Amino acid sequence: MAYIYENKNPLNKRVGDCVIRAIAKVMNMTWDDVAIDLSMMMVLEKDIVSSNSLWGKYLLMNGFVRGNLPDTCPHCFTLEDFCKVFPVGTYLVATGSHVIAVIDGDYYDTFDSGNEVVTYYFERVR
């Protein structure tokens, strides 16, 4: 389990696009392609790109399932804890205000978000 710096934003920006960056990583797509897909959904759904329901629906349409966290400590289960409990697989992990790509126990982000508290996640199943 390790933090790995990665920024899929082609202009290396780091604010407000974590959903796009994380989805691009877990789906092996470009930032532009994910942004276009989510923007089209935004117009159809009349919602914003950062809306949990919008990008969650996008993930469900693309082979992800929403997962449940262990009940042991719902307010203290960090991203590092998540990586230890789920060391294999491809996940998109949400906190209260951030989204992170996790692949086989490593988390990819523009900063070390290991202490962020996980609220829910999506797992790629196909």
pLDDT in the model for residue 15: 81
Residues of the chain predicted below pLDDT 70: 74
pLDDT in the model for residue 126: 76
Residue 94 structural domain? 3-124
pLDDT in tens, 41-69: 999 999 988 899 999 999 999 999 999 88
For residue 120, what are the contacts with CB-CB under 8 A and spacing of at least 6? Answer: 66, 67, 68, 69, 93, 94
pTM of the entire structure?
Answer: 0.94
Q: How many domains does the chain have?
A: 1
Query: Coil, strand, or helix at residue 76?
Result: coil
pLDDT in the model for residue 75: 77
pLDDT in the model for residue 8: 96
Residue 70 CA neighbour count, 13 Å, CB half:
12
